[in-house]
Structure 1
Amino acid sequence: MRFATYTANGESFYGAVADAGMIALNSAFPQWPTLLDAIRDGGLAALGRAAEGRDVTHREFAYQIPLPNAVRLLCVGVNFPDRNAEYKDGSEQPKHMSLFPRFLSGFAGHEQNLVRPPESHTLDYEGEVAVIIGKAGRRIAQDDAYDHIAALTLCNEGTIRDWVRHAKFNVTQGKNWDKSGSLGPWLVPFTDAAQLDEARILTRVNGEVRQDDYLSRMLFPIRRQIEYISTFMTLLPGDIIVTGTPTGAGARYDPPRYLKPGDVVEVEVAGIGVLRNGIEDEVL
């Protein structure tokens, strides 16, 4: 079962994704005005049961990011073999994971265009898996970490590269341009460790594979991410962790291969789906 937030006829809905369109579920669950509310109440299974046997309600619609009202999103950086070497700064592999926040205004939904700003044409792609926390916890043990995940989705953690180094210890500027990245297309309930432990992530630009790796090769596995992050903050239902990108981003080519209008980026993980976005220049 897949769950999405979408718009149709000028209204916002959430519901189950069917082959022929969307099955709206808002009206069946007035206690959960948004998909985030359902996550917070552990309601994905109830949504799935309610969708069974229902007819498609919308055949024409536009995807939004799955949790547009989520409060907190943390990204893990430099988390695959060779990624540290890509920076060519002579530094040793870090002992602890790199973390930074992103804001939801920086993301577009599936099939929406990412926006390249006039201030910089160094828009880059980073294909990643994102996990949605479903159960609150503090100081969560690695053995228990997967019990705190409600769902999975995909992320193109798009970056304006030359704004990442505007300050000595801060990547926030380059990571939060409006609609520079994407989330989606939908949420897939997390039910089996194999969904992550055996996952292969691919990123394609105009059909060419640029990133190709397995989550099992992460330097800081997702269990460790949840343990580490929950050491300093209480993880809450609806929190999103974007777990890291493989080597192969456009900045690491010689010369760099940044995104330009007309390009199409796809992030794919079997069992989750394909997140697809075009590129356009910002209209001033």
Structure 2
Amino acid sequence: MSRPRFISFNRNGSLGYGLLLESGVVDLSGRHGKRWPTLRQVIEDGALLSLAEASAALAPDFPVEDIRYEIPVPAPEKIICVGVNFPDRNEEYKDGQAAPSNPSLFIRFPRSFTGHEQALLRPPESPQLDYEGEIVIVIGKGGRRIAKAEALGHIAALSLCNEGTIRDWVRHAKFNVTQGKNFDATGSMGPWLIPYTDESQLADIKLETRVNGEVRQQDRTSRMIFSFRKIINYISTFTTLVPGDVIVTGTPTGAGARFDPPIWLKPGDVVEVEAEGIGVLRNTVADA
């Protein structure tokens, strides 16, 4: 049996959520919206799996063509991104330094992401729109100073991210990358949430990014410098993680900035991020 796929969507101007089937969308928000207004509340109640089981026999309410995909978790309290989390990415910096002992982190805002099948927007301020395919973990059980041994038990679901970046804007200041990571709709997230059930889902996932069908990035989670356990443990040391928090866990080598000369995304390009057991996140590119 395939894993349930939870989506957040916009249909005729109204936001909702549901289960995506091959034959269409089961509208769960129409059935459970008073109890759980969004998927974030479903996650807070730890109800993803039970809701999927209770809805397994339902027929679709409308075709997928009727919806526009939104980012899966609406209005998360935190979106925390991990930088330099694959061995070859550390070598790209050519600074002679060994891999750091702790992850590099930065924050993104929800508005900087768009949904599956939507256009990534290249802003007029810069042509240097780049791609970064990554795996997303969504926190289901909150906590502070979470032990590594217990960390995976705090995950509710998995998703994908194209952590799009305006490269020259991450160098506007002396030591931060916030500006270049937060232009509206330069990244994407989705297409859906896959409930997390066991460690095998994360152990050795193949992660791949393609631009116009050409493979640009490819690696496996077994090679990550910082494991999913370490990431949760480390982040929860300084901030309380809460249900619905989104952690973007790092990208392999091969982003456009690393080519000589660099290859930036341009209008009309199609970017796909694919991970085994999760799916394919697909976006076009357009000028803002």
14, 18, 23: which is aligned to 1:15? 18
Per-residue CA shift, 1:186-228, capped at 9, x if unaligned? 0000012111112110000000000010011011111100010
Q: Cα distance, 1:78 vs. partner?
A: 0.6
Q: Does 1:96 align with 2:102?
A: yes
Q: Cα distance, 1:121 vs. partner?
A: 0.4
226, 230, 253: which is aligned to 2:232? 226
36, 43, 47: which is aligned to 2:40? 36
SS at match of 1:179: coil
Per-residue CA shift, 1:111-163, capped at 9, x if unaligned? 00000011100000000000000001111111111100000000000000000
Q: Distance in 1 between matches of 2:221 and 2:204?
A: 7
Q: Distance in 2 between matches of 1:256 and 1:26?
A: 44
User: 2:273–2:280: 8 Å Cα contact kept in structure 1?
Assistant: yes
SS at match of 1:197: coil
> Percent identity of the aligned residues?
60
Deviates more, 1:63-72 or 1:176-185: 63-72
Q: Cα distance, 1:82 vs. partner?
A: 1.6
Q: Cα distance, 1:9 vs. partner?
A: 2.1
Q: Does 1:237 align with 2:240?
A: no
Q: Distance in 1 between matches of 2:218 and 2:170?
A: 24
Q: Distance in 1 between matches of 2:154 and 2:277?
A: 19
TM-score for the superposition, normalised by structure 1: 0.97
Q: Give 1:120-139 correspondences, 5 Å limit.
A: 120-139=126-145
Per-residue CA shift, 1:168-197, capped at 9, x if unaligned? 111000000000000000000001211111
User: 1:154–1:184: 8 Å Cα contact kept in structure 2?
Assistant: yes
SS at match of 1:82: helix
User: 1:8–1:58: 8 Å Cα contact kept in structure 2?
Assistant: no
Segments of structure 2 that go 5 or more residues without pairing to the other structure are none
Report the counterpart of residue 203 of structure 1 in structure 2: 209
Deviates more, 1:2-11 or 1:204-213: 2-11
Report the counterpart of residue 74 of structure 1 in structure 2: 80
Report the counterpart of residue 58 of structure 2 in structure 1: 54
Report the counterpart of residue 281 of structure 2 in structure 1: 275
Segments of structure 1 that go 5 or more residues without pairing to the other structure are none
The number of residue pairs the alignment matches comes to: 282
Question: Structure 1 stretches (4+) deviating beyond 6 angstroms?
Answer: none
